[in-house]
Chains A and B, each alone.
Chain A
Amino acid sequence: MAVTTEVNMGAKPVKTDQGAFDAATSAKRKDLFFAAGGLIVMVISMTLLLTLIGDLVIRGIARIDGDFMVSFPSRLPERAGILSAWVGTLLVMLVTALLAVPIGVGAGIYLEEYARKGWLSNLIEINVANLAGVPSIIYGLLALGLFVYGLDLGKTVLVAGMTLALLILPIVIVSTREAVRAIPRVIKEGAYGLGADQWQVMWRYIIPAARPGILTGAIVGLSRAIGETAPIITIGALTFIAFLPPPPISGDFPFISFDWLNAPFTVLPIQMFNWVSRPQADFHTNAAATGVVLMAMTLSLNGVAIWIRYRLRKSYRN
């Protein structure tokens, strides 16, 4: 600061300007390099992704028709379909969502707002973050030992849902905590300042404001769960199922049945895995088609997330 003033007051202001100009040019050049580098990296990764998806779509799209969606697997590739797989995926996702979202959101809010801060909460925080990085097959092994053999629940829709719920629980917890933490302190203090108690602050101010973030976390978790194969294989899901689980709603009293929870099942990634490992080329086409369906489900799940988030943001502001 002092130096600049001296030079400016001295006889050579031009030289200072030249130096500043050089510095600005050099900074601009660095910006340019960085931008170009980022662009190249982005183009490479997008190209890879699009190639992958494009390849899958080109090979599989022609195979997708009504019959493919409503047929059970078969040993003849042209008659095989993915009915049991997509129904299984939907049911497992339903169980996963119903378990992981309430437990994860509750745990996240508790850890962020209620739990006493100390070494214990720090330890839990670190471990929850670590759990998000545990390989999914480890969850599969845990589920096999605990749910399938320990609790003797069998290789059912319920167990698969529980396994995947465990798997995505850390994601839901972490994103809930982040969403809650992102709420400005002044809003919380404003609510407390009016005489609101913790319960009121929680339900009227924090949860409504955090809802978009919480929801995003839940759906990111679910879209991870939908493609998981390893833990489902580990718990011993079947790869060939030629029947559907009993429907949840029936015509007879009491109209609602939970038998589907205890039914054996398969899911899309397993069906795909199974077909890819066959020698016949036609089965590979089936696998590609299954992949397209799986991807469409994931993308529409994300689409729903974006739409809900947008709607919530709008409605909450008004």
Chain B
Amino acid sequence: MADTMTMDDTAVTTGQSAPEKQEKVDTTPPIKPAKESGALRARLEDFSFTYADGTKAIKNVDMPILDCKVTAIIGPSGCGKSSLLRSLNRMHDLYPGNEYEGQIILEPEGENLIGPGVDPVVVRLRVGMVFQKPNPFPKSIYENVAAGLRVRGIKNRAVIDEAVETALRRAAIWDEAKDKLNGSAYDLSGGQQQRLCIARALAPNPEILLLDEPTSALDPIATAKVEDLIQELSKSVTIVIVTHNMQQAARISHRTAFMYLGELIEFGETQQIFTNPRHPKTESYITGRYG
């Protein structure tokens, strides 16, 4: 019984999707990003990434990351957007067998982050990251924010005090946290925890801040606060954000990259991507036809 069901299902699916697929397989090649006029903070050149199991998650991506702008990466699940983000601070190096190809150049020095002999730990000292689920350490609020400084061997209490306050202010959580700096970070609400994690990433002054779906675990009010924060922060730090939420990308980003099946399909000004997409796949995605 179960077997026939499965076979039926398969038959139906293939039968249905076959003509649709033919329609969808447009031969339009991905649109290469235009030359940016603003200052660059980083650029990806012919960048590919392969997981240890052989899955090629990112295929030959060329993409600029503008200085002090918000770059959003959108696309359906499994399109490689998170994999791309995690490549930028070499998070993939924590698990053996993953492989990068091409170049991720950090400007203005022109250093290749995935070049031979580059220590991933050093990359992570320069490129901070905030994760999908708030992940404060089981320590006090103060120690959470100070963690990045302690990792860098900073011991001077005054220096740390100041950096903690600055980071908490920048992450717009100072007013809520200043009276309980020594209380557990777990006593904060989910939204506050996420802003604390942003403060933690900001404290050591990273060159780029990566946000991996930072609001997907938050309620609408907390989401709005984090979005305001991201816009405010983009004045002083380069931000790359991965998001499932297209409205969010439209609201807060300056540039948007649309990825599909590991390829960068289209990259451009957010306004242009959402109002006048040039690639048919981008159009299908933002009008909700898939993903």
Residues of A within 8 A of B (CB): 116-117, 184, 186-197, 200, 204-205, 209, 316-318
Q: Please, what's the 1-or-0 string for B176-215, where 1 marks a CB less than 8 Å from any CB in chain A?
A: 0000001110100000000001001100100000000000
Question: 20 A-B Cβ contacts within 8 A?
Answer: A116-B96, A184-B135, A186-B135, A187-B137, A189-B131, A189-B135, A190-B131, A190-B197, A190-B200, A191-B147, A194-B201, A194-B204, A196-B147, A196-B151, A197-B121, A204-B150, A317-B184, A318-B139, A318-B140, A318-B183
B129 within 8 A of A: yes
In the assembled complex, the Cα of A187 lies from the Cα of B184 at a distance in Å of 15
Cβ of B35 within 8 Å of any chain A Cβ, yes or no, is no
| Interchain CB contact under 8 A, A192 and B91 | yes
How distant is the Cα of A197 from the Cα of B125 in the complex, in angstroms? 10
CA A316 to CA B197, docked complex, whole Å:
19
User: B138 an interface residue at 8 Å Cβ cutoff?
Assistant: yes
Across the interface, which residues of A come within 8 angstroms of B129, CB to CB?
A: 193
Asked if B148 contacts A195 (CB within 8 A), the reply is: yes
B94 at the interface (CB under 8 A from A): yes
Q: Does B256 contact A (CB under 8 A)?
A: no
Select from chain B the residue with minimum beta-carbon distance to A190.
Answer: B135
Q: Which residues of B contact A116 (CB under 8 A)?
A: 96
Tell me whether chain A's interface is mostly helix, strand or loop, or mixed: helix
CA distance A117 to B94 in the complex (A): 13
Q: How far is the CA of A83 from the CA of B216 in the complex (A)?
A: 65
**Residue ID in chain B nearest A194 by CB atoms:** B148
A205–B204 touching, CB < 8 Å: no
Chain B hits for A193, CB < 8 A: 89, 91, 124, 128-129, 131, 201
Are A318 and B184 interface neighbours, CB within 8 A?
A: yes
Counting CB contacts under 8 A, is B59 at the interface?
A: no
- What CA separation (Å) do A195 and B140 show in the bound complex? 20
User: Shortest CB–CB separation between residue B251 and chain A, in angstroms?
Assistant: 25
Given contacts A192-B124, A195-B125, A205-B137, contact A117 B96 (CB under 8 A): yes
Binary CB contact string for chain B from 157 to 190 against chain A (1 if under 8 A, 0 otherwise): 0000000000000000000000000111010000
Q: How far is the CA of A261 from the CA of B48 in the complex (A)?
A: 62
Instruction: Identify B186's interface contact among A196, A204, A317, CB under 8 A.
Output: A317
Q: Is the CB of A194 within 8 A of B197?
A: no
A317 to B138, Cβ gap below 8 A?
yes
The 10 closest A-B pairs by CB, nearest first: A195-B125, A186-B135, A193-B129, A195-B124, A194-B148, A196-B151, A190-B135, A197-B121, A317-B184, A194-B151
Chain B contacts for A204, CB-based, 8 A: 147, 150
Residue B133 at the A interface, CB < 8 A? yes
B21 lies within 8 A of chain A by Cβ:
no
User: Does B152 belong to the interface (CB within 8 Å)?
Assistant: yes
Q: How far is the CA of A116 from the CA of B96 in the complex (A)?
A: 9
Q: Nearest A residue to B186 by beta-carbon distance? A: A317
B-side contacts of A317, CB under 8 Å: 138, 184, 186
Taking a contact as CB atoms under 8 Å apart, the answer to whether A195 and B135 are in contact is no
* Contact A189:B96 (CB < 8 A) given known A194-B151, A195-B125, A195-B204: no
**Could you say which residues of chain B place their CB within 8 Å of the CB of A209?**
138
User: Which chain B positions have C-beta within 8 A of A117?
Assistant: 96
Name A194's contact: one of B122, B124, B138, B139 (CB within 8 Å): B124
Bound-state CA distance A187–B185 (Å) is: 13
Q: How far is the CB of B85 from chain A (nearest CB, A)?
A: 11
A120 to chain B, nearest CB (A): 14
What residue of chain A has the Cβ atom nearest to residue B134's Cβ? Answer: A186
Q: Which residues of A lie under 8 Å from residue B201 when comparing CB positions?
A: 193-194
Which chain A residue shows the least CB distance to B135? Answer: A186
CB distance from B92 to the nearest CB of A (A): 11
- Give the nearest-CB partner of A205 in chain B: B137
CA distance A187 to B137 in the complex (A): 6
Q: Chain A residues with Cβ under 8 A from B122's Cβ? A: 195
Q: Which residues of A contact B138 (CB under 8 A)?
A: 187, 209, 316-317
Q: A187-B138, A195-B122, A316-B138 are in contact. List 17 more A-B contacts (CB 8 A).
A: A186-B131, A188-B94, A189-B91, A189-B94, A190-B136, A192-B91, A192-B124, A193-B89, A193-B129, A194-B147, A194-B148, A194-B200, A195-B204, A196-B124, A196-B151, A205-B137, A317-B184
Complexed CA–CA distance, A190 and B131 (Å): 8
CA distance A200 to B186 in the complex (A): 22
User: How far, in whole Å, are A255 and B91 apart by their CA atoms in the complex?
Assistant: 53
Query: Is the pair A195, B121 in contact by a Cβ cutoff of 8 Å?
Result: yes
Smallest beta-carbon distance B107→chain A, Å: 20
Chain B 85-119, CB-CB to A under 8 Å as 1, else 0, gives 00001010010100000000000000000000000
Least Cβ distance of A183 to chain B in Å? 10
Contact partners of B126 in chain A: CB under 8 A: 195
Q: Which residues of A contact B131 (CB under 8 A)?
A: 186, 189-190, 193
Question: If A317-B138, A318-B183 touch, does A195 touch B94 (CB 8 Å cutoff)?
Answer: no
Which residues of chain A come closer than 8 Å to B147, judged between CB atoms?
Answer: 191, 194, 196, 204
**How far apart are the CA atoms of A209 and B137 in the complex, in Å?**
10
| Interface-centre pick from A117, A195, A197, A318 (highest chain B CB count, 10 A) | A195
Task: Report which residue of A116, A187, A189, A194 has the largest number of chain B beta carbons within 10 angstroms of its beta carbon.
Answer: A194
Chain A residues near B136: list those with CB within 8 A. Answer: 190
Q: How far is the CB of B177 from chain A (nearest CB, A)?
A: 15
